[in-house]
Amino acid sequence: MTVYRPADAAEAAEVIAAAAAERQPLELLAGGTKRGLGRPMRTSHSLDASRLSGVIDYDPPELQLTAHAATPMAQIESLLADNRQMLAFEPPDWRGLMGSHGTSTLGGVIACNLAGPRRVRAGAARDHILGFFGVNGRGESWKAGGKVVKNVTGYDLSKLQCGAYGTLSLLTQITVKVMPRPETVCSLLFRGLSDEAAIALSSQALNTPQEVSAAAHLPAAAARRSQVTAVADRSDTVTVFRLEGPTPSVISRLASLRAQLGGGEPLQADDSRLLWDEIGAVRPLLAAHNRCLWRLCPTPAAAPLVQQQVRAKLPSSEGFYDWGGGLLWLSIDAREAGADGGAQVVRNALRQAAGHATLILASDAVRTNVPVFQTLPAPLAALNQRVKYGFDPHGILNPGRMREDQ
């Protein structure tokens, strides 16, 4: 395999332009921690953007940061922490999930549109992008957005790149909004609730004025895998809600939330942070090996029924709920899941819940033969194809990663 390592965005544009002229497919990567997401790509050339790294501009009072796309997330998070700030969409660390020891980068997080438990309140990664520079499949450098919070004219092309998995452009520079880091973090635990009761309570909690920033439900098997003693020390389900902010506010809102929900057990700052890191990193399901992992986004009220229907067909399946039930992680024994990784069962169960499912982990053979991402209705598929052609007319950028024909 030929690996190109451009020193800057101009060199990257030259590499892509040459590849376009020769109709030579390119795999785009930097830290490589998310190479296992999507369909396997059969390319003999890759563009390693890891040299496009470093913070370009950081203005704490203006709550914005600009960095090269291959800047390590650890560097960005450390810089923000020094200034008591954070990325509000809480980018999860999936290196353990993907079995990777590489370096997670800002560009990888944005390209995959990854967000953690706070997404239920703060929104997705795409909601925090102010602008970016990139190189399209023709080798043309271009930009969208800028260093402003409001961008009300034209198409919001910044959001279009989020979740495109590098199939539209190589991101070279990204500007993101940052937010103050909360002074105090605590969580409220409830034990022994059924899935249905937990999702109903989550809906109630998220609809209170107490500004709950995360809501999750761990069945007993998932809870036992936590490193937080208060979560793992009982063979019971755990439903958890997070509150963040100034200390007096958190104390007051915690008391009000307990009164509104009828009790609960407080979990203090260090344990609370560890638990939500675990949930974002999907660690409650990492103990099992040789399994297929699905990420489902159903309507919250329907999520328990989806889980039940999958388990009825695939008894080895287990999972947990995040985003108040709007995110359901399902792990299935690979042998029981069969050649399609459980796709038919999972998607049939989800069909009535008006959601979508993504196959996150499975063998290369399964991910090659099964649609990893939700199949689009014909009108959306046609629109998607036109967008792809507009950015990458020769289909050289991460070909086949999202769909066989792209």
DSSP E strand boundaries for 51-111: 55-59, 64-68, 85-86
Q: Do 209 and 327 sit in the same domain of this protein?
A: no
Q: How many CB atoms lie within 10 A of CB 208?
A: 14
Q: What is the pLDDT of residues 362-402, one digit of tens each?
A: 999 999 999 999 999 999 999 999 999 999 999 999 999 99
**Residue 217 belongs to some domain of the structure:** yes
**Residue 20 belongs to some domain of the structure:** no
Side-chain-facing half-sphere of 369: CA atoms under 13 Å: 12
Q: Do 173 and 269 sit in the same domain of this protein?
A: no
Lowest mean pLDDT, pick from 116-130, 264-278, 284-298, 299-313: 284-298
What is the pLDDT at residue 75? 98
DSSP E strand boundaries for 356-396: 356-361
Q: Do 226 and 349 sit in the same domain of this protein?
A: no
Tokens of 13: 């544009």
What's the mean per-residue pLDDT of the chain?
A: 94
Tokens of 225: 């895998």
In this structure, the dihedral spanned by the alpha carbons of residues 363, 310, 312 and 292, taken in order and rounded to 10 degrees, is 20
Distance CA 149, CA 131 (A): 9
Q: What is the DSSP letter of 129?
A: E
Q: What is the DSSP letter of 267?
A: E
The CATH number of the domain holding residue 80 is 3.30.465.10
**Residue 313 belongs to some domain of the structure:** yes
H/E run at residue 171? strand 169-177
The phi and psi torsions of 247 (rounded to 5 degrees) equal -55, -50
Q: Do 157 and 226 sit in the same domain of this protein?
A: no
pLDDT band at 335 (very low <50, low <70, confident <90, very high): very high
pLDDT band at 405 (very low <50, low <70, confident <90, very high): confident
- Number of domains observed in the structure of the chain: 3
Distant-in-sequence, close-in-space partners of 256: CB < 8 Å, separation ≥ 6: 208, 210
Distance CA 262, CA 259 (A): 5
Contact between residue 104 and residue 74 where contact means Cβ atoms under 8 Å apart: yes
H/E run at residue 312? helix 303-313
Does 203 have pLDDT greater than 60?
yes
* Mean pLDDT in residue range 266-286: 94
Q: What is the pLDDT of residues 14-51, one digit of tens each?
A: 999 999 999 999 999 999 999 999 999 889 999 999 99
Q: Do 170 and 195 sit in the same domain of this protein?
A: no
Q: What is the DSSP letter of 38?
A: S
Q: What percent of the chain has pLDDT over 90?
A: 90
Q: What is the pLDDT of residues 142-200, one digit of tens each?
A: 998 876 555 545 567 888 899 999 999 999 999 999 999 999 999 999 999 999 999 99
**Is the pTM here over 0.85, yes or no?**
yes
Q: Do 142 and 259 sit in the same domain of this protein?
A: no
Q: Do 259 and 326 sit in the same domain of this protein?
A: no
Residue-number span of the structural domain to which 248 is assigned = 184-283
Q: Do 173 and 63 sit in the same domain of this protein?
A: yes
Distance CA 317, CA 246 (A): 40
**Residue 96 belongs to some domain of the structure:** yes
Contact between residue 179 and residue 60 where contact means Cβ atoms under 8 Å apart: no
**Residue 54 belongs to some domain of the structure:** yes
The CATH number of the domain holding residue 293 is 3.30.70.250
Q: Do 116 and 161 sit in the same domain of this protein?
A: yes
**Residue 189 belongs to some domain of the structure:** yes
Q: Do 68 and 165 sit in the same domain of this protein?
A: yes
